[in-house]
């Protein structure tokens, strides 16, 4: 019975350093390719989550407007959805418990506050709600771009 033997008649019991390095390099390349695809999907998910949260804020603002005859002012802000405003104009029929379940304002997908303006600069007949995107700064491109309720698709305005 013969056994595979390496150089000098010894049995080959393991992998060479070259073989191990080749496997590590291949695994690194595969991880890089998969990582880029996953991070792209995470960015898309964060944008979609932020848009969903803005829709919830829009609905709460609509209920506020139905009860009180107007939207909160820019000064009153989104905080008016969870506690009665202390600055005028005072709401005429504020809902006990506020307008958001849980009594907390949602944050965008990057854990930043949403911004609110009434009347809006983009929605002059209504209000603007926006997120400053991943960088938390006005403007930007790609994941750093602002996301506003005046755009319905993944086009993001600065």
Q: What are the tens digits of pLDDT across the range 96-154?
A: 989 998 889 999 999 999 999 999 999 888 999 999 998 888 988 887 889 999 876 54
The pLDDT tens digits for 55-87 are: 999 999 999 999 999 999 999 999 999 999 988
The pLDDT tens digits for 4-48 are: 555 555 666 777 888 888 889 888 888 887 777 677 778 889 999
CA distance 51 to 103: 20
Task: Classify each residue of 111-150 as buried b or exposed e, where b means 16 or more C-beta atoms within 10 Å of its C-beta.
Answer: eeebbbebebeeeeebbbbbbbbbbeeeebeebbbbbbbe
3-state secondary structure of 136: coil
> Would you say domain 20-148 falls under CATH 3.30.700.10?
yes
CA distance 138 to 111: 16
Contacts of 10 (CB under 8 A, 6+ apart): none
pLDDT, residue 124, reads 86
């Amino acid at each position: 019975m013969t056994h595979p033997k390496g150089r000098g008649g010894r049995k080959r019991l393991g992998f060479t350093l070259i073989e191990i390095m080749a496997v590590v390099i291949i695994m690194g390349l595969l991880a890089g390719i998969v990582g880029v695809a996953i991070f792209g999907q995470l960015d898309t998910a964060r944008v979609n989550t932020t848009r969903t949260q803005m829709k919830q804020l829009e609905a709460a603002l609509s209920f506020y407007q139905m009860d009180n005859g107007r939207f909160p002012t820019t000064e009153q802000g989104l905080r008016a959805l969870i506690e009665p405003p202390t600055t005028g104009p005072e709401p005429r029929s504020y809902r006990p418990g506020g307008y958001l379940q849980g009594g907390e304002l949602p944050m965008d997908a990057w854990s930043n506050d949403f911004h609110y303006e009434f009347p809006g600069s983009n929605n002059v007949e209504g209000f603007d709600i926006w997120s400053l995107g991943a960088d938390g700064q006005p403007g930007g491109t790609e994941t750093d771009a602002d996301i506003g309720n005046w755009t319905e698709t993944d086009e993001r305005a600065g």
